[in-house]
Structure 1
């Protein structure tokens, strides 16, 4: 704890007199008395939502091949129907992101989380009972809707509960549980058929619904609704019996008094609103333009070129790599800081995608005029000569570095920063815009990927993504604030200061 204090002080000293030293030492003395056990418990209950979200994303990969081979004509999916089964989730998630921004302000963070467990459970129940294609699609849309709400509400819930010493680690657990859910669905899919897999996927949201019954609403939300006594009780639960919860409650109440209760369009002229909104939107856009979906699309083909014939095992290895490095990011987030991880992540992805572009260029030259699209998309007329093994390992190494780099920074951090930078009155709306941006960009990249390959070749496509990763680094250096060790109020004050 002392090491962390020493790390925090110089950072906070940069806030141009924002916080007096006496106040800082008072805050440190308070945090020294805090016990985090119940906070970890509340975080665990909340991140069962992202775990459910991960199972939704991972479900289609093992389920689609089975449904395409189904002996039941009513359930058998054609290639086009399978594409819709996989992608219709993004439509539900986009709607869920907008819906989440509204309900999180109307009924609060806790009830929103309990609410979004229901479409998860109903969606998987419809898939389990499916008798035709429309039941499969309906189930996927419902689970997508729940995923959209979850991706907005859980980061807010955690950031408003956690204190500055552990907020980075707790917030990074959101992405960690998403990738854990994806890996869980892949592994379960090796052993279970699609109906039993759907039953397995419905367990995490059911547990979340039960556990969240016993967790508190966030103190900041309660104070914004004038419920001081309940806010104090929530803080006592989250900070343990030794910490004087009344002191923190008074500080939060003082901060909430400085804000208008309701958002109006005139607030968009406030740098404390439009600056974080710009940072949040750009981070979500740049996250998707790293080309993560393109890499995941090519993963199985790259493994095959490197002579790993079992595609199912390959996808589990990719998912496991994401889990390991997202866990590393969660552990070091509150020590290294957000900016350092974002910059390292951006550099690693930029270099690895540039090398991957070189691999595809060399591969195309080796194959002469044969179309790389037909080679990698599994079309007829695949090449007779395999590329040199050295080239295949180059692709494999590049892909591994890219996935590790993404998981270390640009995977978890945009979601964490989104939950930290908005003032309370616009937190729901700002987060909704960021979530919608993320899902829209994911949809655009996924749908336009084949067209990009036709237009500028595979090598050109990955070089384009590499340039975007370089832009990520530049954007991080100049525009993303370091939020490590700062209270939410200090982060918001950073944006209000004129340059």
Structure 2
């Protein structure tokens, strides 16, 4: 009896392996006929949104120094007002995340993207025409609202358009365009005043609206609404004339049929919904609690202490590091996998935030211990250096390692994974919760950062970030499934505990 049972089990396993091999060979045969040219075109049109979002984030860095010294008293910002000018974007973005979750389900991914270009343009127009500080705030809230919608819709749009061979690379382009936009704002700030910079910042969203007119809605959204003919046309546009798109259409249709009706709150009991939702929320918390905002907050001071007198140029250097390594992440995403890059990224950030803590601890000790401070001064004066130069270079190296690590993993991947792991019917709701979590955490950490440093010291704050980065490594190893090379339907099946279509 035992021998017979074992034989039956082995035969079932072999049959399952044969089915998987058959599916993979079918998939390979299909993908070999796919042409990506128009898929890349649609991706380019959509990622003009994240570029616009990058300009919004980067705009405050060159604009605030000008607005704090401007001759017109109606527009001059004091320290508190400047802080709000920089951080109020996150409030608008949190609201935008909720709005985006509703929009993508009601009007679709394409129209949501086209509509979110309007608050981008209107927001920058209000800033350009500003006659008082409240107009500046309104402009920032509008651009923040658009940024929140964009940060939700674009990853979804790309993940639902792209096939599994290029989805990681194309999904990583979201973060790449964000950092390109930030660097564009920094570079623009070197050559133009805040009004002209706002004019330039409104160009990408205008282009996005025009380009998206010629791009399709995602096939998955169309099929979830029962629009088979439109979905086939969209697939034919995205996959080229030679691909047998009926195979992909039927695979997506089967997954939509399995999920049944639209999302209800009772669906949160389904492991196929609550498991990826918990992962998505935790990814966003870990991303913001990694210390990225604190590092960027300190960037200018660190460069000054390391004798980079041009702090504007220093900001461009930071932006350039982000762009280069986010591009590297995009290139290797579909080869290395999400999980490996998240672990490497977490290790780099844990080491660098620990080193930052050591830097601040030693600086504090020197100020408290005059003899140690004198010894440092004496040794460094012999080689013609100013006090603490060596420690400033430690901070500079730590910042370089941190930004490199963040750009390789925890910058782009949470957004990419968010767009991959949710079932179609819950995608709008779950993505909205994740985006709201991300922007709420960004606002809380930005506004409480100074209080944290007062309560547990600068060194303690960065060591706390190091602990969070270490926890993120453990979380990645234990909880995050590898999504490299899998279809969205196969990823959904992983959480449901069934075999993928």
Q: TM-score range by the shorter chain?
A: over 0.9
Give the structure 2 partner of residue 107 of structure 1: 107
Deviations 1:256-280 (A, max 9, x none): 1111221112211110000000000
- Answering whether residue 334 of structure 2 is matched by residue 334 of structure 1, we say yes
1:287 deviates by 0.5
Give the structure 2 partner of residue 50 of structure 1: 50
Give the structure 2 partner of residue 459 of structure 1: 459
CA separation of 1:19/1:77 partners in 2, compared to 1, >3 Å: closer, same or farther?
farther
- Answering whether residue 393 of structure 2 is matched by residue 405 of structure 1, we say no
State how 1:34-183 maps to structure 2 within 5 Å: 34-183=34-183
CA distance in 2, matches of 1:364, 1:106: 55
CA distance in 2, matches of 1:471, 1:286: 8
Give the structure 1 partner of residue 364 of structure 2: 364
1:305 deviates by 1.0
CA separation of 1:139/1:18 partners in 2, compared to 1, >3 Å: closer, same or farther?
farther
Aligned residues: 470
Question: Contact between 2:176 and 2:326, CA under 8 Å: does it hold in 1?
Answer: yes
1:388 deviates by 2.8
Give the structure 2 partner of residue 256 of structure 1: 256
Give the structure 2 partner of residue 424 of structure 1: 424
Question: Contact between 1:53 and 1:181, CA under 8 Å: does it hold in 2?
Answer: yes
Give the structure 2 partner of residue 392 of structure 1: 392
Give the structure 1 partner of residue 297 of structure 2: 297
CA distance in 2, matches of 1:50, 1:451: 31
Specify the SS of the correspondent of 1:429. helix
- Answering whether residue 198 of structure 2 is matched by residue 202 of structure 1, we say no
1:345 deviates by 0.2
Deviations 1:390-410 (A, max 9, x none): 211111111100000000000
CA distance in 2, matches of 1:60, 1:460: 28
CA distance in 2, matches of 1:226, 1:115: 23
Specify the SS of the correspondent of 1:34. coil
1:387 deviates by 3.5
Give the structure 2 partner of residue 381 of structure 1: none
Extract unaligned runs of 5+ from structure 1.
1-12, 371-384
CA distance in 1, matches of 2:118, 2:386: 49
Give the structure 2 partner of residue 3 of structure 1: none
Deviations 1:224-280 (A, max 9, x none): 011000000000000011111122112111221111221112211110000000000
Give the structure 1 partner of residue 307 of structure 2: 307
Give the structure 2 partner of residue 443 of structure 1: 443
Question: Contact between 2:96 and 2:145, CA under 8 Å: does it hold in 1?
Answer: yes
Question: Contact between 1:452 and 1:461, CA under 8 Å: does it hold in 2?
Answer: yes
1:17 deviates by 6.0
Give the structure 1 partner of residue 380 of structure 2: none
* Larger displacement relative to structure 2 (446-455 or 340-349): 446-455
Give the structure 1 partner of residue 286 of structure 2: 286
Question: Contact between 2:48 and 2:208, CA under 8 Å: does it hold in 1?
Answer: yes
Deviations 1:192-232 (A, max 9, x none): 11110000000000000000000000000000011000000
Question: Contact between 1:363 and 1:387, CA under 8 Å: does it hold in 2?
Answer: no
1:110 deviates by 0.1
1:296 deviates by 0.4
CA distance in 2, matches of 1:183, 1:475: 31
CA distance in 2, matches of 1:244, 1:54: 38
Question: Contact between 1:122 and 1:142, CA under 8 Å: does it hold in 2?
Answer: yes
Deviations 1:328-370 (A, max 9, x none): 0000000000000000000000011111111111111112279
Question: Contact between 1:305 and 1:387, CA under 8 Å: does it hold in 2?
Answer: no
Give the structure 2 partner of residue 241 of structure 1: 241
Give the structure 2 partner of residue 6 of structure 1: none
Give the structure 1 partner of residue 223 of structure 2: 223
Give the structure 1 partner of residue 321 of structure 2: 321
Extract unaligned runs of 5+ from structure 2.
1-12, 371-384
CA distance in 2, matches of 1:231, 1:17: 31
Give the structure 2 partner of residue 8 of structure 1: none
1:455 deviates by 1.1
Give the structure 2 partner of residue 377 of structure 1: none
1:20 deviates by 2.2
Question: Contact between 1:165 and 1:485, CA under 8 Å: does it hold in 2?
Answer: yes
Specify the SS of the correspondent of 1:20. helix
CA distance in 2, matches of 1:230, 1:106: 17
1:19 deviates by 6.0
CA distance in 1, matches of 2:363, 2:52: 39
Give the structure 1 partner of residue 5 of structure 2: none
* Larger displacement relative to structure 2 (21-30 or 476-485): 21-30
1:386 deviates by 5.1
Per the normalisation by structure 2, the TM-score is 0.92
CA distance in 1, matches of 2:455, 2:242: 63
Specify the SS of the correspondent of 1:484. coil
Per the normalisation by structure 1, the TM-score is 0.92
Deviations 1:418-476 (A, max 9, x none): 00000000000000000000011111111111111111111111111001000000000
Specify the SS of the correspondent of 2:368. coil
CA distance in 2, matches of 1:87, 1:18: 55
- Answering whether residue 472 of structure 2 is matched by residue 472 of structure 1, we say yes
1:65 deviates by 1.0
CA distance in 2, matches of 1:114, 1:268: 30
CA distance in 2, matches of 1:70, 1:394: 36
